[in-house]
Amino acid sequence: MQKEDNLKEVISHAKEYGFVFPSSEIYDGLSATYDYGQLGSELKNNIKSYWWKSMVQMHENIVGIDSAIFMHPTTWKASGHVDAFNDPLIDNKDSKKRYRADVLIEEHVNKYAAKIEKEVKKGIKRFGDDFDVDQFKATNPNVLRNQSKIDDIEKRMAETLGNDDLEGVRNLIIDLGIVCPISGTSNWTEVRQFNLMFSTELGSVAGDAAKIYLRPETAQGIFVNFLNVQKTGRMKIPFGIAQIGKAFRNEIVARQFIFRMREFEQMEMQFFVRPGEEMKWYEYWKEQRINWHKKLGLGEDNYRFHDHIKLAHYANAAADIEFNFPMGFKELEGIHSRTDFDLMQHEEHSGKKLQYFDHELNKSYVPYVVETSIGLDRMFLAIISSSYKNETLEDGSSRAVLSLPPALAPYKVAVMPLTRKEGMPEKAREVMETLKYDFNCQYDEKDSPGKRYRRQDAIGTPFCIMIDHQTMEDNTVTIRDRDTMEQERVSVEALHGIISEKVSMTKLLK
Ligand code: GAP
């Protein structure tokens, strides 16, 4: 299946089964905004829980907060978002389509990177385990030629974007022969900067004084509470503050389903460290975060790191964890070394000291910060798109299955009576009663067993329990595994242990 077709199928599957709906659909929707349905919100809550448990509960030196979306407007002046939270935009005069100039260039660079990957794959196929990828990349003429092109483009992009040289960015697009994917022409406008923050007015007063912003990142709510949390929580450096919450950005090119939205959710953690130790912690968090992802079992090859070329105005080092989405490798999470930029700026703009007294060093300083920032909606898309499969079975029939990590599945168990007679529904309810306090269960008695199994496969339920004639005689049931489709007969008493073993989050967290 083509990857783009996979995205289309995922979108329609997500809608059909109550995961994600276009927002205000009865009014034809609102672009780049989506609503999570009954199953989507369960999956989302489970992702949040995995993140929160692993970041907050598994670290004695990390605590979580929940700050307001609206913040004093000076926050955004101090953070640099009023002046520098811009995207460089360019329009194609023929198609009238608008693009982010840096994304057009990055996509062009990706073509050379794909050529290198293709050469490497050929080598691996030919020589197997004996193939030395590093040596190949360092010596193969085709790889070296493509790598040199990538390096040249990235250097020019970093220079032009870094110096706000918008004409230089446009020249780079022209020189590379980048054309609009719709019109196929290079009839480009000038490049312009566009601020991404949404603004509104506070109360009844209009005008600049009352202008407030919808936060474009949750991080600033953490920075302004740095001392509140440090003092009341008696936190000692190094320590972290985490939060999950909504963020808003007026994205110009908002597309690809829930990948790029105007209203989305972030899971962010700011880790406060001694100045000079930030690179050690930056490397530490890069490793921690990639491990968190890999434990989900979505496929280790689906992740890669990408170092930022153009650093955000606050960072001295930054890398993305990219995921192999249906649209190719794209940013899923960012790990940023934010220096002391934010706290210093808030000190300056608020006139309040935001320093930490380090007893070991016997001095005060403004801590440095390493941030991990992941989009919850992107994580949702990564999980659902890589778990979705349309399988042809041995008997020639097909099934749509969501092989979700069991700990994240909306329902862990479906409990089904074989028929609606002979006391089976009552027995099924009785079994469900023993499970529902620990596992999200669904009761299902409608249609044939085969149809019911398909329905549960399609929503990713790891286990189906069937109450049948034998249950009524010996208190055993069949338990069917979503992935293998195998059924096993077990006693009702054993169910809790079997399910718990497979769906528990503990294994992911350890
Ligand atoms: N506090 C740092 C920060 O906000 P970012 O790289 O701009 O950094 C962090 O955003 C993460 O938020 C991204 O890696 C992505 O997963 C998610 N994100 C950013 N913009 C988004 C959008 N428009 N829609 C969905 N997720 C988005």
Q: How many CA atoms lie within 13 Å of 188's alpha carbon, on the beta-carbon side?
A: 25
101 CA → ligand 1 middle, Å = 18
Nearest protein Cα to ligand 1, atom 26 = 375
What DSSP letter does each residue of 102-164 carry, written as one string? HHHHHHHHHHHHHHHHHHHHHHHHHHGGG--HHHHHHH-HHHHHHHHHHHHHHHHHHHHHHTT
Q: State the pLDDT at residue 249.
A: 95
Nearest protein Cα to ligand 1, atom 7 = 217
Q: Which CATH class is domain 43-75+196-385?
A: alpha beta
Q: How many CA atoms lie within 13 Å of 49's alpha carbon, on the beta-carbon side?
A: 14
Nearest protein Cα to ligand 1, atom 2 = 373
Atom number in ligand 1 closest to CA 266? 12
Q: Is the pLDDT of residue 204 over 80?
A: no
69 CA → ligand 1 middle, Å = 16
Q: Among the residues of 333-474, which ranges form H helices? A: 341-350, 376-387, 424-435, 449-459, 469-474
Average of per-residue pLDDT across 172-198: 94
Average of per-residue pLDDT across 189-193: 94
Q: Which of 266, 325, 337, 374 has most ligand 1 atoms within 8 Å of its beta carbon, as the pocket-test mutant?
A: 266
247 CA → ligand 1 middle, Å = 9
pLDDT digits (tens, 9 = 90+) for 192-203: 999 999 999 887
Q: State the pLDDT at residue 3.
A: 61
Instruction: Return the CATH number of the domain spanning residue range 401-509.
Output: 3.40.50.800
Nearest protein Cα to ligand 1, atom 27 = 375
Contact indicator for 52, 245 with CB cutoff of 8 Å: no
Average of per-residue pLDDT across 353-367: 96
User: Is 3.30.40.230 the CATH number for 86-194?
Assistant: yes
**pLDDT over 70 percentage in the chain:** 98
Between the alpha carbon of residue 451 and those of residues 399, 455, 468, the distances in Å are: 10, 6, 16
pLDDT digits (tens, 9 = 90+) for 392-405: 988 888 999 999 99
CB within 8 Å of 253: residues ≥ 6 apart: 98, 99, 100, 103, 260
Q: State the pLDDT at residue 5.
A: 72
**Taking Cα atoms as reference points, which of 471, 385, 299 lies closest to residue 12?**
385
Q: What's the CA gap between 439 and 496, in Å, rounded?
A: 9
**Taking Cα atoms as reference points, which of 457, 463, 464, 454 lies closest to residue 407?**
463
Average of per-residue pLDDT across 337-354: 96
Query: Which pLDDT band, with edges at 50, 70 and 90, does 212 fall under?
Result: very high
Strand partners, 3: none
Where does ligand 1 bind, in terms of residues with CB under 6 Å?
A: 217, 219, 249, 251, 260-261, 264, 266, 268, 331-334, 371, 373-375, 377-378
Q: What's the CA gap between 231 and 328, in Å, rounded?
A: 45
21 CA → ligand 1 middle, Å = 21
Q: Is the pLDDT of residue 4 over 80?
A: no
Other beta carbons within 10 angstroms of residue 128's beta carbon come to 8
In the chain, domain spans: 43-75+196-385, 86-194, 401-509
**Taking Cα atoms as reference points, which of 164, 114, 5, 19 lies closest to residue 460?**
19
Q: Is the pLDDT of residue 354 over 80?
A: yes
pLDDT digits (tens, 9 = 90+) for 451-501: 999 999 999 999 999 999 999 999 999 999 999 999 999 999 999 999 999
Atom number in ligand 1 closest to CA 331? 14
Q: Is the pLDDT of residue 331 over 60?
A: yes
267 CA → ligand 1 middle, Å = 9
Q: What's the CA gap between 220 and 229, in Å, rounded?
A: 14
373 CA → ligand 1 middle, Å = 7
Q: How many CA atoms lie within 13 Å of 293's alpha carbon, on the beta-carbon side?
A: 30
pLDDT digits (tens, 9 = 90+) for 278-288: 999 999 999 99
